[in-house]
Amino acid sequence: MMTDFKEIILTHKLSALFSKASFGIEKESQRITGAGTIAKTNHPTIFGNRSFHPYIQTDFAESQPELITPPMQSIEETHEWLTAIHDVVLRSLPEDEYLLPCSIPPTMPASEEIKVAKLDSGDDVAYREYLVSVYGNKKQMVSGIHFNFELNPALIKELHQLSGSAGTLKSFQSDVYLKMAHNFIRHQWIMTYLMGGSISAGSSYFEKETQHDLPLDRYTRSIRSSKYGYVNKADVHVSFESIDAYVQDIEEMVTTGKLIAEKEFYSTVRFRGANKARDLLTNGIAYLEFRLFDLNPFAEFGMHKEDMYFIHYFLLYLLWIEKDASEDEMKIGKEMNYSTALENPLQPSAFQAEGLAVMEGMLQMLEAIGAEAKISAIVKEKIEAFHNPEKTVAGQMVNALGAGEDKTTWAASLAKKYKEAAWKRPYALRGFEDMELSTQILMFDAIQKGLKINMLDRYDQFISLTYKNHREYVKNGNMTAKDSYIGPLIMENKVVTKKILAENGFAVPDSGEYHSVAAALRDYSIFAGKGIVVKPKSTNYGLGISIFKDGATFENYEKAVRIAFEEDEDILVEDFLAGTEYRFFVIGNETKAVLLRVPANVVGDGSHTIRQLVEEKNKDSLRGKNHRSPLELIATGELEKLTIQGQGYTFDSIPPAGTTVRLRDNSNISTGGDSIDFTDQMDDSYKQLAVQMAASLGVAVCGVDIIIPDHSVPATKVEPNYGVIEANFNPAMLIHIYPYQGKSRRLTMEILRLLFPEMQLEEE
């Protein structure tokens, strides 16, 4: 293919389109124990059913999870997904299990201990058994990363038109990918030089090898990319010249028995877009899969984001250059890769000059297409690595192990470090930490159970979830199609909510509704002398609410009325109900959680000051700032100072052991309050009432706030023993999932159960 893409791209200003592409990562690795040996346990059942799981599969061995990102439109998003899936896997593994961060297990198990993945399909298992018989099961234990790459279809369309190509768009597209594949095979050694990471293997790895110069006592750049890697037998020859030649060859290999199936054919590049090679003739090549990447043990998720960027632009460069490598040149490229793979990691590449030339060419391309500076910076680091082999991944590994450190111990300690990092903020989903925590946790659960997530609008917390052909949309973690539209509209309006709850027979506090200050003041005498709550009609965060437990003077009443009117055009004056307020979280026809919120407090121990007690309590990793964690840090500001003064303390007081000191009067979690799970203690009658209330509002997900004087005395028709004061749509889930005290209620999983009852999702 001789088209000068560079010329077309520059002339027609297609740089932006040229840089757009889709990416997908498949990353295998072994589950290991803390001792660094391969885990003997089964693939965790917590990941649900492998038959459909889009993100977490097993590769060859039962101990070998394969993590798969969905195809994404940018490296950033691809890396985020890889991060998130790792977060889910690492936090879902048993306590003493980890992910081995390198391609070849430093300690290889005995053959009989290696268990082929327990897949549902008998054919899949049989195929794996066949592979073992031919290649031995040690090589199957090796892991790597596959990098899937698709150009922007609009780019291919433009190039097709502008190049004046006589063929169809489809055949043109295949030609583009063929050129990329040809040039990749010619230059793939560069990947191995820079990113090779399987520097050694134990002798058992080579048990099926017949050669004598095995790299047993020396380091290489990549055993996996060498001739000792996973390669087909010598009599397997498949041309990459054209699709026709490729299909003809591969079918012949199968017909003559040199391959048991097409999929046994191994290559560092694979054409994608057809299940059977022959279909490529009609479908064309949809995208390419590059398969030669070792795990980088220094990268938490197997590959640095910078290396993903590097690969992206390296692949573009393969199109940018005029050259389209011939069959012979590809043969040379393969040999160069094999020899690079076995080079001493601390020695410069035998092909340094070619490598530097390609890097310089890349830099020129980046300048010509106006790529971001960060990309050139990455390429410049690679140039540095060509000059200094210690900067390659293999070079770094050799140096890391230089002091004679045990490879197994070294790998296990990295694995532990990476798992620890995943647990640092257990309520967050790394990769998506800019989103609301509730959505992060919901996505965590969805990834774990294998629901396909489509990010509809990240900034709007809007996703879709798909299981087989069933799709559901979710906004802000629990706003779904299970609610009717009118429900949230009702709950947005306290007046309407109360009227409807009252109409349906629930106990609500008496109240007056006012549209003007004058009207509210005129009715003061109605409320004088009894406990009241003055509040705006529609706000939701406690703003503008005044509570007078023992009645208000006219002056205070007037002040409260004016404050409430600052927040809304209408206000409510409501009877104050004595008792404790509980939040009931209803999903479907069940109250899934009950929570008690307690004002910010510390409990004295007789020896520490209040300030010290606060500092100690704030060490809890669940406490943070600005809703970025399940609990908020307790502050020691003016308001807190006043509150403890009321109890006779200063921050330097040492309260007696067992004495609770309140730092706030309000119980909001957002001002340092404690969340206490009360689900099991609450009398069932109230839980049923909450469900009925949600139903009367037409919603499946609802947070109902009920005042109850005694949670152990049941509610009855005659003696309601409660007053419902508010119903909330899109209620906070986090406080129930990570309470300060009591049992965690995984409400996000309950939302998934509500949306996908057919999945029968089990408790963790």
- The count of chain residues that interact with a second copy, using the rule CB under 8 A, is 45
Minimum CB separation from a second copy for residue 472, in Å? Answer: 8
Rg of the chain (C-alpha set) = 32
Q: Give the x-and-dash track for 687-706 against a second copy (CB under 8 A).
A: -----------xx-------
DSSP code of residue 70: P
Rounded Cα distance between 380 and 135, Å, is 39
Residue with smaller CB distance to a second copy, 14 or 415: 14
Among 127, 524, 548, 651, binds a second copy (CB under 8 A): 524
Kind and range of the H or E run holding 147: strand 145-151
What b/e readout covers 468-504, taking b as 16+ CB neighbours within 10 angstroms? eeeebebebbbbbebbeeebbebbebbebbbebbeee
DSSP assignments along 303-353, one per residue: S-HHHHHHHHHHHHHHHHSS----HHHHHHHHHHHHHHHTS-TTSPPTTHH
Whose Cβ is closer to a second copy: residue 15's or residue 33's? 15
Residue 488 interacts with a second copy (CB under 8 A): yes or no: yes
How many CB atoms neighbour CB 315 within 10 A? 21
Q: What angle do CA 144, 272, 123 make, to 5 degrees?
A: 70
Please state the closest distance from residue 592 (CB atom) to a second copy, in A: 19
- 134 in contact with a second copy (CB under 8 A): no
Query: Given the rule CB under 8 A, which of 52-60, 255-263, 412-420, 490-498 is the region that contacts a second copy?
Result: 490-498
Both tokens of 43, joined, read 């693939």
Q: Which residue, 242 or 454, is less far from a second copy as judged by CB? A: 454
Q: How far is the CB of 431 from a second copy (least distance, A)?
A: 17
Q: Which of 173, 268, 480, 643 binds a second copy (CB under 8 A)?
A: 480
Question: Cβ distance 387 to 347 under 8 Å?
Answer: no
Question: Binding to a second copy by residue 368, rule CB under 8 A?
Answer: no
Q: Determine, following the binding rule CB under 8 A, whether residue 489 of this chain makes contact with a second copy.
A: yes
Considering the complex, what minimum distance in angstroms separates the CB of residue 690 from a second copy? 19
- Please select the residue that binds a second copy; options are 3, 5, 14, 297, rule is CB under 8 A: 14
Q: Under rule CB under 8 A, which residues in 136-175 are in contact with a second copy?
A: 154
- Which of positions 564-603 make contact with a second copy (CB under 8 A)? 569-570
Q: What is the DSSP letter of 761?
A: P
Candidate residues 3, 6, 17, 411; the one interacting with a second copy per rule CB under 8 A: 17
Q: How far apart are the first and last CA of the chain?
A: 55
CB of 507 to a second copy, least distance (A): 17
CB nearer a second copy, residue 523 or residue 683? 523
> Does position 558 bind a second copy by CB under 8 A?
no
Per CB under 8 A, 555 contacts a second copy = no
For tokens 């979690």, the residue is 669
Residue selected from 146, 304, 305, 499 as contacting a second copy according to rule CB under 8 A: 499
DSSP E strands in 505-634: the ranges are 511-514, 532-536, 546-548, 571-575, 580-587, 590-598, 601-603, 623-624, 631-632
Stretch that binds a second copy, among 112-120, 332-340, 481-489, 619-627 (CB under 8 A): 481-489
Q: What's the CA dihedral at 522, 526, 531, 536 to 10 degrees?
A: -40
Backbone angles phi, psi at 703, to 5 degrees: -110, 110
Residue 401: CB atoms within 10 Å: 17
**Residue 500, C-beta contacts closer than 8 angstroms, at least 6 positions apart:** 490, 696, 697
Question: Closest CB to a second copy among 130 and 485?
Answer: 485
Question: Could you tell me which stretch among 287-295, 336-344, 410-418, 484-492 binds a second copy (CB under 8 A)?
Answer: 484-492
Shortest spacing between CB 381 and a second copy, in angstroms? 24
Residue 460, interface with a second copy (CB under 8 A)?
yes
Q: Tokens at residue 239, please?
A: 């041309």
Q: Which is nearer to a second copy, 512 or 599 (CB)?
A: 512
From 333, 487, 544, 673, residue interacting with a second copy (rule: CB under 8 A): 487
Tokens of 345: 């990691």
Cα 53 to Cα 12, 147, 539, 591, 623, distances in angstroms? 43, 19, 42, 30, 34
Q: How far apart are CA 17 and CA 423, in angstroms?
A: 39
Near a second copy in 723-742, by CB under 8 A: 729
* Residues making contact with a second copy (CB under 8 A): 13-17, 154, 456-457, 459-460, 462, 464, 473-475, 479-490, 493, 495-496, 499-500, 515, 522-526, 528, 537, 569-570, 698-699, 729
